[in-house]
Each structure stands twice: as structure tokens, then as C-alpha cells.
Structure 1
Amino acid sequence: MPSFAKSNLADSAEYKKILQITEQTIQQFIPDKRTAIFELKLLNGSSPHYQVNTTESAAAKQFSQLLVENHIPRTKIAINLLPDSSVEGKVTGIVNLSVANLRVEPSNQSELATQILLGTQVDLLQRKDGYYRVRTPEGYIAWVSESSITPKSATQLEAWQISSKVIVTADFGHAYTQPDEQSLRISDLVMGDILTMLDASNDFVHVSYPDGRIGYINSKLVLPFDKWLGTRRLTAENVIKTAETMMGLPYLWGGTSVKGVDCSGFTKTAFYMNGLVIPRDASQQVLAGQPIDILSGGTLDIKKAIQNLQPGDLLFFASGTDRPPTARVTHVALYLGNGEFIHAAGSVQINSLLPEASNYGALDTRTLIAARRYIGQDDSALQPLAEHPYYNTGKK
């Protein structure tokens, strides 16, 4: 904290006005702080000076205008539009770990926000204390260790985008220094990881990592990315089949891989492996797709739900029992049919909406407040992998 007293700052009419303008700008331009940034920082010094970090140019423009209208000296507040100069002109990076951890703040002790997989393209917004602030393909913004990311210039990114790639389709695997599984390992691999393919023999694929490491992967663990993508069919059967391969995985807050998943990371992975990029969190996922009527008088109607739901639909739950439909969504599950659903709760498991079922999910059923259908829906929040610019190979 600067040398001036915190109490003096709190009592400052100017400071209160700046906070008010900041909040006004956030309400107007930042509907979701997970996907857009507008933050006011107090800088060290002998008198109040501030910095605004934001991803939204329209918000920065409006904020500046409000400062003028409220007679606050513009010189007291530096506006830093992201991406900023700290990324040194390289505004794109590629993940180079099998699973990279994204955190709320640039610190290993900070809460895990989400994860991203090897070969995923991200926007680089800011660099600080050994971390990059990045934006993921679904728009989620968080901090990741520099060692997890390889920054790319525009030329390097184009070369990576048009290169031949493979995707890991097995749950787990490893890359080796030689085409021999007894040779030294380079890294572990998980389902969904993407690497550049250099060449292939009958038994091994010769691959390159985003950071230039070279290795060999058993060909049984991977498929050519373009071939794999061409076979994706977004059907309930396929999404459920992928989901069921994750049965028993441990729950991990922020997890989005077969190493561990949270509830929305589980549904995200099930759809991703079938060619659809969906929003990250349950409270974001409930805003996409087609609403399905499962309530009567604001509470769950089991008979109506069973009648209207289809396999592959998503079920959304609130925290606490008997919550209104307007309650904040905190959990999501994938509907299987016949009243059953699969979800990550402690571990990935199957429960039922039906009280007479042996696997009845009593607590979950009492907190079910919404359902959505993604399959067959045209929604800008649901992005086909084949059309997503972060996964587009650039090949025709």
C-alpha cells in the first residue's frame, strides 16, 4: 500500500467517484468477468495514481469520457488495453504441456480456474511474474505459467496452423525420445492433446511439440487430426459414449482432462471430443442452446422432465434444495435417458431422477432447475471445432 493512509483514500470524494465510474463501466461492458476484463489497480506512490487493465476498447473509451465529465484528471489514471506491450508483440501462444493449469491470479498458490490441453491455441494478453494472462478458445481468461506456453509470432503461428497434426484419442499415453517405448519419456499425453506430425511408420508417429521438442508416439494412441475431425458426428450416442469412458474419474475443481474433471469440465470434454466447443462453466453453459421445459410452478416436474428430455441434453442444478429457477447454477450433468444422468460429483458417476431407482440422486434432483439441448442447435456460443479459428488447420 502506498504511503498515504488507506483511510484518507477511502474518504476521498475523487476516489469514490473513480470507483463509481469503474463499476458503471463494468456493468455496461463486462457482462461476465471470466471472459472480459476491466480492473482498476492502485499504483504505488506518494499520492493516488491508478491503472486500468481492460480487454474492451469500447469500455476504455467510455471510461475516459466519464473521467472528463466528472472533472477527474486523466493523468491520474493510465489505461492499459490488453494485449499490452508485456507480451512483446507475440499475441498468440500454444500450450506445450499435456494439461496446463490456469489460475485466478499469477501464482502457484492461486485457485485453479480451468485447464487447457497440449496444442491448444490461446491469446496472450499480459505477462507478469512468470505468468501469462491468456484467453482460451471458449473465451475464458486466466493466468498460466510461462513454462506451459510457447509464444508464437504471426509467421510461426501460420506455420503451426498449416502443419499436419495428430490428436491423442487414447485416455493416456507417452511420447518417447526414440521409436521405442523403453527409451526416455518426453512427456505424458492425455485424450485431446494435439501435436505436429513430422512423419509416421507402422508403429510410431514422429511428432513435434509447440516448443520444438521432438518425440515418438505409439501410432495406436493417435489419429491424424484432419481425419479425426472429419469423423466427428455430434449425436447423443457419441457424446454419451465419450462421457461414459470417463466413468470413475476423480472430481477436480477446474479440471478439464482425463486426469480429473469438475462438472462443467466433464461436459465440456464430452462435447469437445465430438467436435463442439462449448462454454466453460455450468453458469455459462446454461445460457446456451435450447431451453427444455422440466418445471411446473417453478419446481421440478419429474413426469414432464422425463417426457421432454432427450439423451444428450444438459441438466443444471443450483446449490441448496428447493431453489427458484432464477438461482445461480452451480452444477451440470449430461442426461442419458430413462431418468438417468452422468456427472462429476466426487467422481464421474451415474445417478437417477427417479425416487424408486437404486441410484437415485436425491440431493441433485431436488436442486435441478433447468435443462438445455445443444445437439442440433444453432447458437454462437456453441462452436463447431471444424469452424473454430483456433483449431482450423488452414487447409482446404
Structure 2
Amino acid sequence: MKIQYVPVLSVFCLTLSVKSHGQSKLSDSAEYNKILHLAAQTIQQFIPDKRTAVFEVTRSSDPSPVYHVITTESDAQTLFTQLLVKHPIPHAKVTINLLPDSSVAGKVTGIVNLSVANLRVAPSNQAELATQVLLGTPLDLLQRTDGYYRVRTPEGYIAWVSETSVAPQSVSDLTHWQTGKKVIVTADFGHAYTQPDGQSLRVSDLVMGNILNVLDTAGDFVHVLYPDGRQGFVKSHSVRPFDTWLGTRHISAENVLKIAKSMMGLPYLWGGTSVKGVDCSGFTKTAFYMNGLIIPRDASQQVLAGKPIDILSVDTLDTEKAMQNLKPGDLLFFASGTGRPPDARITHVALYLGNGEFIHAAGRVQINSLLREAPNYGALDTRTLIAARRYIGQTDPALQPLDRHPFYTPKAEIDKK
């Protein structure tokens, strides 16, 4: 994608350029503030969630500052350009870079080649963990810099991942992966070996949800191909043919809660979405993913999807109403603090089990109760239950079946369904 250059120069350029250093600094600051103001207008209209859409403004150093805008949204690019024309800023030079850009060298898709890849909020190993993605997950490659890719996950989350964690793919490579024979790891943990022998050198570890291409079978092993070209042998009992597995996925409370309970005792990990460690929303995400449904990543995003379930009376949890209206598999959402203001920030999510109990990741994956008299009540003494949503049986663009997701299935196949 070409970088759009937007000149916002005026005939006063020469006059202003000979001002004192102090005046130049003041002028640069004023320009920057004006550009930030226009950026704020653009963000308000087209960037509702910075986790799923990007609009960034940076400034190069003096003496001739250039303002660099990076965005994933073409509508935001268009509006910001129009605002610059409508509100000209003398002397300002602005570039607008629409992602994906030329840094990815035409390969706008990649597939994760580690059992669990860490995505961070910035291109640095020291940056905060934002989320994780599993081996075999396709990603949009948006930008490459300093050994990292900025990527978009199947649920739309945008973050940075080390380039060693991802194998870039051409369009034909991705189609081959989508249509090829694959297996999914259904065991909690496993390994791939260099030979069809569990005593041979390991290629990598594996975790539940990993997806690999199949080359052949060899006795009690499946000969697999990694996205980066490595080969290995996986024990047959730890995997299932992907298409067969997907055909058996039915979003029912029993199935979702079966996966959830299989994660009992896993440690809490901020940003975690695998059996190596989960955060609260990574836990719910994994429970649904292993039943063929991709849901939003964070609790504050998950609460916006599905069908609202009434559990409050006068803005207070009505236990009797909750017990009557909730069904197993519903999601419970908690806010920090003890009040329930209309704009309360969602900070935690759990899955309802029934009979007042719920399962969630808090310190570890555990089961607690809404009922004060229950022996397992009180784990959320600093949080407040504020909302509930039902995903099971609901149609919502934010809830995406795996077999209809363009990252996993070619469009031609989706159109047939």
C-alpha cells in the first residue's frame, strides 16, 4: 500500500522558517495540537475500539517535523485527509499510511508456527502481553518493523508478534492451508517428534487447539507439516482430523462447560488464551473456540455480544431473578468496585454452571457461587456482578462460527453453506 503524502504548506513557509528557535518550537507545538485535534475527531467517528482498529499520529524530530499517521481504516484515512484540507495547517507535512503497507512485502497473511504465540501491545519483548494465538491460526499481517509484525487475529484483535512466531503466506499458500487436510490437537498437551517414535528428538510442544497440516500417517503417529515448513510426527490419540472435529462442534451448554471444566486449576495469566495459562476472557474464549465458535477477545467486548439476560433489580443483583433467568453456559460480567453506575467498566467474566455456581479464571480456574450461604461464595469480594449475556442459540455478527470464518475457510466454501 502506498503512503499517501498530504502537503499542508502555505505561502508563508519561507517567512516562518526564519523565526527564532523558540518561536519555531511554539509553532511546532501548535501544529501538533491542531493535528491531534483533527485526529481526535477522526478517531471518535471511525475508531470505536483501539483494540480492533488503529489510528496513530507520531511526529518526527526537528528542525522540519513531519507528522506520520498510521491507520487500518480507509474511511478514517479519507476523513482525516478531508479535515486537513478543510482546516489547513501552515507548514505541516503529513503522511498517511494505510495498513497493510509495503513493509509486509505483499504477504498480508501469516500463520502462527509456535504452540502459543505471544501478542504484545508494542513491538518489544518487554511490552505488556495483549493476547495469545495458537499454532495454525491465520493472521492478517498489517505492518513489519524491528523484527515484529503488527497483526490482526480472527476475532479482530490488533497487536504485535515476533516475526519468528509467524510464517508469512502468499494467497495461494493460504488457500492450500485452508483446503488441505489438517488435524487439531484435542489433548491438553502433546509433542511433535522428528520420527514416529516418542523417544526421538522433539520438534515442538503442542497444546489444545493447535492446528497442523497432514502429510501422511505412520502407525500410531500422524506425519504433520508446520506453517514454516518443519515436519514432525504427532501421536494419533492426541489429535483429530480437523474437518471431522469441526463437524461435531455443536454450541451447547454441555459442550462449552465440558471444555471449561477441563481447564480447572489452570493458572491465571494476563493475556493468556491457552492451557498454559488463561485470563478471565481468554478462558471463556477458549471454551467457545474449542466448540467451533470465535467470540470477542476481552470481557468488555464480550459483554456487547449475545442476548442480555435480566439479573438485576434497581441496579442490584437479584439472586432470585438471576437463578430463574440464567441458563448454564451464559456469561456473567463483573465490574470493579461496589457500585453499578451505568458506565461501569467490565473487568471480569465467568461462565454460569447452574444452581448459582459459575466457573472462571481468578488466580486459577475455579468454581464459585453467587449464593451467600454457599461455602464457595465470596471469591469476587472486590468486584460486582453487573450483567449477563447468552451466546448459545444466538445469531450475532460478533459470534463467528469457525466453519464460516474467512480466515479458516475459503470464501467459495462459505458461500455454499
TM-score range, shorter chain: over 0.9
Shift of 1:6: 12
Instruction: Return the letter of the residue paired with 1:85.
Output: S
Shift of 1:14: 2.3
Checking the alignment, whether the CA contact within 8 Å between 1:353 and 1:362 is kept in structure 2 is no
Instruction: Return the letter of the residue paired with 1:42.
Output: R
Q: TM-score, structure 2 length as denominator?
A: 0.91
Q: Closer, same or farther in 2 for the Cα pair 1:372/1:74, shift >3 Å?
A: farther
Instruction: Tell me what 1:134 maps to.
Output: 151
1:23 aligns with 2:5: no
Shift of 1:320: 1.4
What is the RMSD of the two structures over their aligned residues, measured on CA atoms?
1.8
Q: Closer, same or farther in 2 for the Cα pair 1:96/1:6, shift >3 Å?
A: farther
* Runs of 4+ with deviation above 6 angstroms: 4-7, 393-396
TM-superposition CA deviations, 1:203-259 (whole Å, max 9, x none): 000000000001000000000000000000100011001000000000000000000
Instruction: Tell me what 1:155 maps to.
Output: 172
Instruction: Tell me what 1:390 maps to.
Output: 407
Q: Residue 284 of structure 2: which of 240, 249, 267 is its match?
A: 267
**2: CA distance between counterparts of 1:109 and 1:52?**
25
1:297 aligns with 2:321: no
1:1-396 paired onto structure 2 within 5 Å: 8-9=25-26, 12-72=29-89, 76-361=93-378, 363=380, 367-392=384-409
Q: TM-score, structure 1 length as denominator?
A: 0.96
The number of aligned residues is 393
Q: Closer, same or farther in 2 for the Cα pair 1:177/1:35, shift >3 Å?
A: same
**SS of residue matched to 1:76:** strand
With 72-81 and 232-241 compared, the bigger mean Cα shift is at 72-81
Q: Closer, same or farther in 2 for the Cα pair 1:298/1:10, shift >3 Å?
A: farther
**Structure possessing the higher radius of gyration over alpha carbons:** 2
Instruction: Return the letter of the residue paired with 2:138.
Output: Q
Checking the alignment, whether the CA contact within 8 Å between 2:403 and 2:409 is kept in structure 1 is yes
**SS of residue matched to 1:381:** coil
Instruction: Return the letter of the residue paired with 1:286.
Output: V
Checking the alignment, whether the CA contact within 8 Å between 2:51 and 2:158 is kept in structure 1 is yes
**SS of residue matched to 1:12:** helix
Gaps of 5+ in 1: none
Checking the alignment, whether the CA contact within 8 Å between 2:66 and 2:93 is kept in structure 1 is yes
With 209-218 and 385-394 compared, the bigger mean Cα shift is at 385-394
**2: CA distance between counterparts of 1:90 and 1:11?**
37
Instruction: Tell me what 2:17 maps to.
Output: none
**2: CA distance between counterparts of 1:328 and 1:380?**
23
**1: CA distance between counterparts of 2:35 and 2:172?**
42
**SS of residue matched to 1:143:** strand
With 96-105 and 366-375 compared, the bigger mean Cα shift is at 366-375
**SS of residue matched to 1:133:** strand
**2: CA distance between counterparts of 1:297 and 1:290?**
20
**SS of residue matched to 2:143:** strand
Instruction: Return the letter of the residue paired with 2:393.
Output: G
**1: CA distance between counterparts of 2:383 and 2:278?**
23
**2: CA distance between counterparts of 1:372 and 1:74?**
51
Checking the alignment, whether the CA contact within 8 Å between 1:318 and 1:369 is kept in structure 2 is yes
**1: CA distance between counterparts of 2:378 and 2:406?**
40
**2: CA distance between counterparts of 1:5 and 1:114?**
44
TM-superposition CA deviations, 1:59-102 (whole Å, max 9, x none): 01100110111112596000000000000000000000000000
Shift of 1:153: 1.0
Instruction: Tell me what 2:4 maps to.
Output: none
Instruction: Return the letter of the residue paired with 1:124.
Output: L
Shift of 1:364: 5.1
**2: CA distance between counterparts of 1:19 and 1:231?**
51
**SS of residue matched to 2:380:** helix
Instruction: Return the letter of the residue paired with 1:166.
Output: V
